[in-house]
Each structure stands twice: as C-alpha cells, then as structure tokens.
Structure 1
Amino acid sequence: MEQIDAELPVPGDIALRFYFVRHGEAEGNVAGIRLGQSESPLTAHGRVQAAAAGKSLASTVPVFWRFYSSDLGRTVETATVLKNARQRQFLSVGNSATKDPDGSMSLEASLRERAKGVYELKKRGLTYQEAYSEHLRRGGSPDTIPLEETDDEVFTRVRQWIKRVLDEAIDEISADRKLIDAAFNLSVLCVSHSGLIRATLGHLFNIDSSEISVPNASISIVEIKAGGCDGFIAKLVQPPDDSHMGPESYSRNYIINTVLTSSS
C-alpha cells in the first residue's frame, strides 16, 4: 500500500483568502450612470482611491499567490494603480528584495460587472419602460437590447471561477512541497465590480444583495475551503470596508457590516 505523507495538507485543509476590491470611482459613477459591462475610465479621485487600497493591502498582505482583475477598463486601471502603490509601499520600508510581490495580473471575464441590459449607460432611477424608451430614442431596437444578467447568473460564473482557482491551488500545493507552509493562508487578489461582489456575498452568506453596499475601492475578504454543495465552503472574514480612505469612508458601512457579519 502506498504510504501517504502526513505532512501534506489534504484538500479540505487548504484555505484561500479572496480579497475582493471594487474599482475606484469611475466617470460614469459620478454622472449617475448604470455602467454594467460598458466602459468608463476612472476619475482622478478614483485613482487616489485605488492607490489607498493598494497601500492598505501592502501593510496586511505581503504576497498575493494570484492576482486577478475583471477585463473591463476601470478595473484594469484600478488594479494597475493598486499594484504600483503596493510596490512603492514595499520599497519605502526597505523591502528592496520584493520589487514585485504579486507577479503578473490575469484578466478574467468571469469577474466582469453584472450585465444590465436595457439599463446600461442610462441614468440611475429610470423604470424599465423609461430605459427601454431611451434605448429606442438612441436608435436601438427590441433586437439590440444588451445582455442582462440576474444575480444567480452572475454567481454561477463566479462560483465556477472560485472552484477553478481552488482546484489550481490544490494541484500546485500537491506538486510543490515548498508551498506546504503557505497552504493554510494563500491570498488571492481580485479587482471587480459592486454588482458582482454584492451577488457573490449575497449568495455565499444568504443575504439580499440589495442590503449590501460595496463602496469604490472597498476591500471584502472571504475565506474559501474545499467542500460543501458548491464545491467549497465560505467564511466571511471582512465585509466591504473602505476605512483606508479615512474621513471619506462610506458612512453606511457599519450597517452593511452588521447585516453581513450576523449572517456569516
């Protein structure tokens, strides 16, 4: 019988910490536009927010095992600013041996914002009929309405992505004994969008996503282990938090934190 090395962690022992970061303030956010999967660049303030998130993460997470971003422009811009801020923070404390603590960034369509159909690029607050009428006024037709996703559909793609990342971690740790010591706290950075993060937290912790607010550049932390009906078990480590923004941090965060924490 083959002898099993007792030092190797079994899949159920491997835990990944997913750091979900919402992109910084985008021009569409300021204009009150529903962006969905449409593009909108960051504002100057949004880049400041992204840098603040990067600096905060540099003080708490020395190395990310994987670094992912939605492939939409505002998240790629946020991830780039965040990554550069982390590197500057490491160098400022004399950590010259770690010029790039995170490696390359992977772009993931699975982390895109929830597609918002006829509401995309329309002002917030419009009814469906008002948004549809605006769609027609702009030269659209019933056949050219953009894709619209439900929270369930968004979480389906997120769940598949989480499971894939977890499987990769298990395979990599099994093949490389040097990762055994880190097997219980591998960190994964994912820069994404408020709708996706709300849908993910809502499904994982059985909360109505409309009760969850995800401020720009906020950081949410979820621990994932193998098991459960989804193929993994989730534990809430930190609800959406933007306290690294100082006095401007979102005033309603304490309400959202209470709702999520009491349900995890």
Structure 2
Amino acid sequence: MRRVLIWRHGETEQNAAGIYQGQLDTSLSARGREQAATAAQLLAQRSPARLVASDLTRAATTAAALASASGLTVEPDRRLREIDVGRWQGLTHPEVRARFPELQAELEQGQDVRRGETGERVRDVARRMRAVFDEVVATQEQDSTVVLASHGLASRALVADVLGMDFTRLTQALVGLHNCHWAELVEHDIGWRLDAWNTGAPAATGR
C-alpha cells in the first residue's frame, strides 16, 4: 500500500490571534516551532520517502524540521499554498464578518464563493492541490510514505477531492486539522481511503 500524509504547518501568531492569513507569508511562532520539532520526530519514524511542501514560510519551516530529522530534502511547490483569501487577508474573523456580511452569508449557505471577493474558491484550491497529489503518486513506490506539508483549508480541500466527497459535508463531519497535525490517505484496491485524521504528537496539540 502507498500512503500520503497531508501535514498542516505549525502555529503562527496569526493563527493564535484568529487572523486570516491566506497566502500572507507568515512565520511560525515559538510554539509553532516546538510543534514542528516534536511532530517531525514522530513522522521521521514513518521513514517517509519524499517531502513536498508549500513554499510559504510557515509550511516550509515546518517541513524543514522533518527534513532535519529524516535526511530528506524539502521539495517546494507553490501549488500547496493555502487558499488565497483576497481582501480578507490580515483581518480577524470578527472584522471579516462585519465588513463582508454578504459573502459570509453565502458561505454559510454552502456556496463556494471567492474568498475576500478577489481570492480563490475551494474548487480552485482542490484543483491545484490534486495536481500535486497525482504527480507525486504517479512516481511513488509501493509500500512507501510521502509527506505533503501544506495548510488547513488547502489540506481539507485535497482530502475531500481525493475521497470524492463534498467539501462542505467533509468540514461539517470533521473538525479542521490542528496545527502540526496530519491526515493519512492509504491506497486500497478500491481507491484511496482516509486512514487517520488529526493525528499528531501529544506535545503538538492545539490549533
């Protein structure tokens, strides 16, 4: 069987403050760096064969911790970036709700609207994330594990697409990935199956 681990980056100050980051290039907080180091030790025990990461600093730094622990080289790929949130970038959740009530209402109704008016839709993110996934799997050896280091919504969009699930239903059924936690997709005869969700090192808990 082949396994693909979809790993969310460690905590940033913006995560802790409830600020929309999108493709804002933020760094890990001290807590985030600790999370990455702890999770990397656990992931290294899985003997991953390849490590591909978003080129945004918070994901690249998280991946670098695993590279150090495993001897792998981080392969940057901008297609693994978080969703572009447009004009929401840098705003808090209450600010977004106050300034963009119509968009918020459409999202709550399950519509896949452009985030922040000028950003991406979930289907846009799923398309670019899936392209990376398919390219990686095309050359992946049997009985091997690959790690894709990415972001919260982007990771959920990929998992939903691979499983053939509606993104809204998946987010209603599964809580979002915590910082430095991962989803595990395993290939079976019938296709890919979600073997684990929100897995992480005990000391890497938190959102």
Q: TM-score range by the shorter chain?
A: 0.7 to 0.9
- Identity in percent: 24
Distance 1:200 1:130 in 2: 29
Corresponding residue of 2:54: 70
C-alpha change, 1:44 and 1:127, in structure 2 (3 Å) is: closer
CA contact (8 A) 1:118 1:131 kept: no
**Structure with the greater alpha carbon radius of gyration:** 1
Unaligned segments of structure 2, at least 5 residues:
102-115
Corresponding residue of 1:116: 85
- Deviation, 1:38, is 0.6
User: In the alignment, residue 66 of structure 2 is paired with which amino acid?
Assistant: L
User: In the alignment, residue 187 of structure 1 is paired with which amino acid?
Assistant: T
Structure 1 position 216 matched with structure 2 position 161: no
Structure 1 position 17 matched with structure 2 position 40: no
Distance 1:146 1:249 in 2: 33
Distance 2:64 2:58 in 1: 10
Match runs of 1:120-131 below 5 Å: 120-127=89-96, 130=99
- Deviation, 1:225, is 6.5
CA contact (8 A) 1:122 1:131 kept: no
Relative to the length of structure 1, the TM-score reads 0.64
How many residues align structurally?
188
Distance 2:189 2:56 in 1: 29
Structure 1 position 149 matched with structure 2 position 105: no
C-alpha change, 1:127 and 1:41, in structure 2 (3 Å) is: closer
CA-based RMSD: 2.5
Unaligned segments of structure 1, at least 5 residues:
1-14, 88-99, 133-144, 170-182, 228-232, 252-264
C-alpha change, 1:204 and 1:126, in structure 2 (3 Å) is: farther
Corresponding residue of 1:189: 147
Corresponding residue of 1:10: none
- Deviation, 1:201, is 2.1
User: In the alignment, residue 234 of structure 1 is paired with which amino acid?
Assistant: W
User: In the alignment, residue 25 of structure 2 is paired with which amino acid?
Assistant: E
Structure 1 position 47 matched with structure 2 position 33: yes
Distance 1:129 1:226 in 2: 48
Does the residue aligned with 2:196 lie in a helix, a strand or coil?
A: strand
Corresponding residue of 2:105: none
Distance 2:133 2:21 in 1: 24
Corresponding residue of 1:83: 67
Corresponding residue of 1:94: none
Q: Which runs of 4+ in 1 moved over 6 A?
A: none
C-alpha change, 1:241 and 1:77, in structure 2 (3 Å) is: same
- Deviation, 1:146, is 7.7
- Deviation, 1:147, is 4.3
Relative to the length of structure 2, the TM-score reads 0.80
